[in-house]
Amino acid sequence: MGTFSIWHWLIVLAVVLLLFGGGGKIPKLMKDMGSGINAFRKGLKEDDKKADDEGEGGEGEPKVIEGSTTTQSSSTAESGSTTESEKDRQDRKAAHG
């Protein structure tokens, strides 16, 4: 029970030879995974470089995020119209004093 028989060692040896020596599938898979990781890192570096180039050149207007509440409320305040949520806030303020 404490030791392996010769058959156990032969099976382990056969599995190791098939995985790493016979078909070459595992090493090829690891090589492909390594090249994929390198391509991913290269893509990240290119994106960072592109973002840095764009960030340095422009000091114009700030970028507007669509759907943000601050840009919507400022645009409605300029036009003079109020939305339902602003009316609700005004009603609550009037009710509470």
Residue 88 has pLDDT above 70, yes or no: yes
DSSP-based three-state secondary structure for 95 = helix
The per-residue pLDDT for 93 is 81
Whether pTM exceeds 0.85: no
Q: How far apart are CA 54 and CA 52, in angstroms?
A: 5
Domain boundaries, the chain: 1-53
Picking from 72, 67, 95, 96, the residue whose alpha carbon sits closest to that of residue 83 is: 72
Confidence of residue 72 (pLDDT cuts 50, 70, 90): very low
The DSSP result for 47-66, as a single string, is HHHHHHHHHHH--SSPPPPT
At 44, which amino acid appears? L
Q: Are 27 and 20 in contact (CB under 8 A)?
A: yes
